[in-house]
Structure 1
Amino acid sequence: MEAVRVGILADPAAPTEIARRLTDLSPFDGTEWDITVVSEPFTTGSEDVETAVGRLQQQARERTWDLVVGLTELPLPDSEGGYLLAQTDSTQRAAVLSLPALGGFRLHTRARHAVHSLVSEMADPDRNGERHVTIPHRRGHWRLLKGMVRANRPWLLVPGMKSALVAALATGAVATINSTVWVLAASLSWWRLVIATVVSIALVVAWLTIDGELWDHPDDDSAQARSRSRLYNASTVATLLAGVLICYVALFVVNLAWALFILDPDVMGGYVSTPLGYGDMFVLAWFVASAATVGGGLGSGLETDEAIRAAAYSKREQERRDRLA
């Protein structure tokens, strides 16, 4: 029996990486799938699923594929205000899968199972018509948001903030050996330190959003456009929070190691007129991390790094549209 020619058309970056791990998929009925992966930004807007399916069908005709599956990192809204996991057109043998709708964990495994199911369904001659696979409104939306944050890869914000990190490390190194900072740190209660942490991280996130022009605005006044913007902005803020928190923890660890290496609690206690121990080094490093985060993040310029811009879905979608144009 001749092998079924299957095309997987994937958006660039993470969807392409996932697609390339799916070339060994095989059916359970003894037939064979000849799978080809193509990386191309086939999505022009998450609000238009039919356009995405149409582009998949066009690619299938041009490349003589028997059926095609599109992998996108964009959310796919349906007509009822919810979001789709997948849309299948068995008649045209084309399907599109939204990877963020699979959630933020075990993405490769879930994508593998989903693609296998879609291909098996379209390859079955007894199945015809379109099918929409929606996600639950509340629990599904949280899973979708987690999937979008994972697709943004917040850990990649760290190299994109290297100037701010260098400035923060320098600020922290100087502040750690300042006796005035010792006095301030010794006088702060734990709840003040918590507030300082929250405020410092929030300020840097706000600065990144403003400086990078990452806030998405609706294209029009429709409910669908407003819902999409809210989702995009929520994923952007969550991604930036995760990335800045990673930087904050790294800064705290470095400051703590630096304080333990160069400072003597007895000497510090003499300046603040209070007996201090090594546990107070923890408080000092905590306070310095908050101060250095604000001073370094807001007092230095940020690189025009793709990692910063990639934190916003709207920026990546605009780039897709520009490439397709």
Structure 2
Amino acid sequence: METVRVGLVADPAKPTDVARRNQDLVSENGRPDWDIEVVSEPFTAASEEPEAALGRLDELAHEHSWDVVVGLTELPLHDDDERYLLVDADPRRRTAVLSLPAFGGLDMHRRSRSALRTLISEMTDRPAGTDHRVSLSRRWGRLRVLLGMVLANRPWLLVPGLKSAMVAALTTGAIATINSTVWLLAGSLSTWRLVIAMVVSIALVVGWLTIDGELWDRPEDDSQQARSRSRLYNASTLLTLTVGGVICYAALYLMNLAWALFVLDPAVMGGYLQMSFDYPDLFVLSWFVASAATVGGALGSGLESDEAIRAAAYSKREEERRTRLARRGRRRGH
């Protein structure tokens, strides 16, 4: 049997990595042979609708003389009933789109490998037929896609992506740790007040980044579909920033604690304040200082450009989508 030429067209960054890891994919019985070529291209740039994506993939199949083509994207796909899709395929044209967020972000490589093998096999063995869609359940589909979008945004990279904010946070923490007024404040606060300070500081970071970076998504029209889509993107943004903010807070707490243990002597502090002070109090001090440092980091993020904030907060594909929408909004404003 002759070799089947397969094209994997992937959005830049994570989808391209997933596609390249599957370049050695073979059918279950090894026949027919699959000659897989990977092309990294944002094929959903013009439109997020599945039909538009399938049309672009069909064009690429003709350009590259592929027998089968599958697109991998980090954007969520949905049908006309607003059910989220894992797969949208057109067996007649031997084209399909695979939405990676629909996997929920967990065990991505194994699950995508299994899905690609099934897709390619079905379109190779049964090329004729009607359009084929694999949709998620209404109850859990949105949550699964949301989790996949948040993990695709890699919230743990938010802190190193905002260098000015991190410098401001570390500077605030270092100065606050050796300030006697801060010692008094930390010692006078009850546990629930410290918890409130922590929650408020993280919420301030999330709100400031959302506003300053213009990250809030607005529906393109008044349709229910557009509003639903915007709610999903905004939920993804808030969760990404919240997780990133919590990671930032934890990192600041540990660094401030290490700094406090290194430079402060509880006996000297107690004598200066004329009150009892011991090493366990340094943990409370570092907790309060972490809240102050987080607020300092939020203010420091104002030195970052909108593009830098979007690059730190989003996956590559989502960053491109947001940047495109922001430019479109500025043009409309003019």
Determine if the TM-score, normalized by the shorter chain, exceeds 0.5.
Answer: yes
- 296 and 87 in structure 1: CA distance in 2 versus 1, 3 angstrom threshold: closer
State the shift of 1:114 in Å: 1.1
Q: Give the corresponding residue for 1:17.
A: 17
- What percentage of residue pairs aligned between the two structures are identical? 64
State the shift of 1:319 in Å: 4.9
SS at match of 2:303: coil
State the shift of 1:304 in Å: 2.7
Would you say 1:234 and 2:238 are equivalent positions?
no
State the shift of 1:47 in Å: 4.7
Deviations 1:128-171 (A, max 9, x none): 22111001122221111110011111122222211111111111
State the shift of 1:226 in Å: 0.3
State the shift of 1:316 in Å: 2.3
Would you say 1:175 and 2:179 are equivalent positions?
no
Give the whole-Å Cα distance in 2 for the aligned partners of 1:296 and 1:190. 23
Deviations 1:107-131 (A, max 9, x none): 1111111111111111113762211
Give the whole-Å Cα distance in 2 for the aligned partners of 1:101 and 1:71. 11
Aligned residue identity for 2:36: I
- 275 and 318 in structure 1: CA distance in 2 versus 1, 3 angstrom threshold: closer
Deviations 1:267-300 (A, max 9, x none): 2223444322211111100100101111232155
- 1:160·1:306 contact (CA, 8 Å) conserved in 2? no
Give the whole-Å Cα distance in 1 for the aligned partners of 2:133 and 2:210. 35
Q: Give the corresponding residue for 1:119.
A: 120
Q: Give the corresponding residue for 1:250.
A: 251
SS at match of 1:84: strand
State the shift of 1:315 in Å: 4.4
After the TM superposition, which residues 143-182 of structure 1 pair with which residues of structure 2 at under 5 Å, given as runs? Answer: 143-182=144-183
State the shift of 1:95 in Å: 0.4
State the shift of 1:67 in Å: 0.5
Deviations 1:6-37 (A, max 9, x none): 00001111111111101010002331100000
Deviations 1:180-239 (A, max 9, x none): 111110111111111111100111111111111111100000000001100011111111
- 233 and 126 in structure 1: CA distance in 2 versus 1, 3 angstrom threshold: closer
Q: Give the corresponding residue for 2:26.
A: 26
- 1:216·1:314 contact (CA, 8 Å) conserved in 2? no
Tell which deviates more after alignment, 6-15 or 135-144. Answer: 135-144
- 155 and 302 in structure 1: CA distance in 2 versus 1, 3 angstrom threshold: farther
Q: Give the corresponding residue for 1:98.
A: 99
Give the whole-Å Cα distance in 1 for the aligned partners of 2:63 and 2:39. 13
Aligned residue identity for 1:154: P
Q: Give the corresponding residue for 2:321.
A: 317
Q: Give the corresponding residue for 1:57.
A: 58
Give the whole-Å Cα distance in 2 for the aligned partners of 1:88 and 1:17. 22
- 1:157·1:307 contact (CA, 8 Å) conserved in 2? no
Would you say 1:261 and 2:259 are equivalent positions?
no
- 1:74·1:100 contact (CA, 8 Å) conserved in 2? yes
Q: Give the corresponding residue for 1:2.
A: 2
After the TM superposition, which residues 58-77 of structure 1 pair with which residues of structure 2 at under 5 Å, given as runs? Answer: 58-77=59-78
After the TM superposition, which residues 79-90 of structure 1 pair with which residues of structure 2 at under 5 Å, given as runs? Answer: 79-90=80-91
State the shift of 1:45 in Å: 6.1
Tell which deviates more after alignment, 311-320 or 261-270. Answer: 311-320
Q: How many residues align?
A: 322
Give the whole-Å Cα distance in 1 for the aligned partners of 2:242 and 2:98. 27
In the superposition, the TM-score normalised over structure 2's length comes to: 0.91
Give the whole-Å Cα distance in 1 for the aligned partners of 2:47 and 2:111. 21
State the shift of 1:320 in Å: 6.5
Give the whole-Å Cα distance in 1 for the aligned partners of 2:195 and 2:218. 32
- 2:92·2:127 contact (CA, 8 Å) conserved in 1? no
Tell which deviates more after alignment, 292-301 or 132-141. Answer: 292-301
- 1:45·1:317 contact (CA, 8 Å) conserved in 2? no
State the shift of 1:318 in Å: 4.8
SS at match of 1:35: strand
Q: Give the corresponding residue for 2:185.
A: 184
State the shift of 1:303 in Å: 2.5
Tell which deviates more after alignment, 304-313 or 91-100. Answer: 304-313
Give the whole-Å Cα distance in 1 for the aligned partners of 2:303 and 2:139. 36
State the shift of 1:305 in Å: 7.1
SS at match of 1:301: helix
SS at match of 2:126: coil
SS at match of 1:227: helix
- 320 and 178 in structure 1: CA distance in 2 versus 1, 3 angstrom threshold: closer
Give the whole-Å Cα distance in 2 for the aligned partners of 1:148 and 1:46. 18
Q: Give the corresponding residue for 2:226.
A: 225
Structure 2 residues without counterparts, runs of 5 or longer: 328-334
Give the whole-Å Cα distance in 1 for the aligned partners of 2:307 and 2:22. 27
State the shift of 1:307 in Å: 5.5
Aligned residue identity for 1:114: A
Tell which deviates more after alignment, 29-38 or 261-270. Answer: 261-270
SS at match of 1:113: helix
Q: Give the corresponding residue for 1:204.
A: 205
Q: Give the corresponding residue for 1:129.
A: 130
- 47 and 223 in structure 1: CA distance in 2 versus 1, 3 angstrom threshold: farther
